[in-house]
Amino acid sequence: MTARDELLRNVPPPDGVEIHVDWAGIEEALGVALPDDYKWLVERYGPGSFDDFLHIFQPESPFAMTRLLESSERAAEILEQARERGGSIPYETDELLAVGATDNGDTIYWVTRPEDEPNSWTITANGARTMKWPHFEGGIVAFLLAVMSGAHHVDVFPQVFPREPVFSPYPAPDPRRR
């Protein structure tokens, strides 16, 4: 059974999700190809959160704070500011691409080495209030499966996460609030 199959079984996606993404356009805007497991995750689950806490950035989302392009650019700015203040970051800024965040302000990154092999990228995280950088040897789907199943705990996440393996789609935006 693949990590994808196990994630589907352990954390069921919402019914009827049909996400169509201009992957070429997103990759061009980012300046890098994206991993296949991330593309599958986005197309299968859509915008939402894992256990109402962990958000995977999306190419398109009703909420700016969960859009991949904007969020990854902001995360890179924050990394540079941390470096300027003497923060110890075990990766070069261009080796990290933000892929998710928690409600506590923790950021999940791809370690983009080698850059031209996105399917071999691994995952690291950084806490909003710590300089810990726990590393996970696997892609985003394997990471989510390990975390949501309880097989792997990320040091910067609360001990009580996850409470339950659930994915909740974001509510549709109210068209009257534009």
Q: Report the chain's C-alpha Rg in angstroms.
A: 16
Q: Residue 101's pLDDT band (boundaries 50, 70, 90)? A: very high
What single letter denotes the amino acid at residue 77?
E
**Rounded Cα gap, residues 134 and 39, in angstroms:** 24
Query: For residue 174, what is the DSSP state?
Result: -
Nearest of 93, 106, 162, 103 to residue 134 by alpha carbon? 106
Q: Report the pLDDT value the prediction gives residue 17, as an integer from 0 to 100.
A: 85
171-174's contacts with Cβ under 8 Å and 24+ in sequence apart are 172/62, 173/62
Q: What pLDDT, in 10s, does the model give residues 16-58?
A: 888 889 999 999 999 999 999 999 999 999 999 999 999 999 9
For residue range 63-82, what is the model confidence (pLDDT) as tens digits? 889 999 999 999 999 999 98
Query: What value does the mean pLDDT of the chain take?
Result: 93
Nearest to 39 by CA among 52, 24, 51, 53: 24
Question: How far is the CA of 138 from the CAs of 124, 132, 146, 177, in angstroms?
Answer: 10, 18, 10, 40
| pLDDT classification of 126: cutoffs 50, 70, 90 | very high
Q: Using CA atoms, how far apart are residues 64 and 76, in angstroms rounded to an integer?
A: 16
Confidence of residue 6 (pLDDT cuts 50, 70, 90): very high
Distances (CA, A) of 127 to 133, 143, 171: 8, 16, 27
**Which pTM value belongs to this model?**
0.94
- Per-residue pLDDT at 129 exceeds 90: no
SS3 99: strand
Query: What is the share, in percent, of the chain residues with pLDDT greater than 70?
Result: 96
**pLDDT-derived band at 176, boundaries 50, 70, 90:** low
Q: Cα–Cα distance between 59 and 42 in angstroms, integer?
A: 8
Set out the domains of the chain in order of their start, with CATH numbers: 3-166 (3.40.1580)
Specify the pLDDT at position 148: 98
Instruction: Give the confidence band of 102 by pLDDT, cuts at 50, 70, 90.
Output: very high
State yes or no: pLDDT of 172 exceeds 80: no
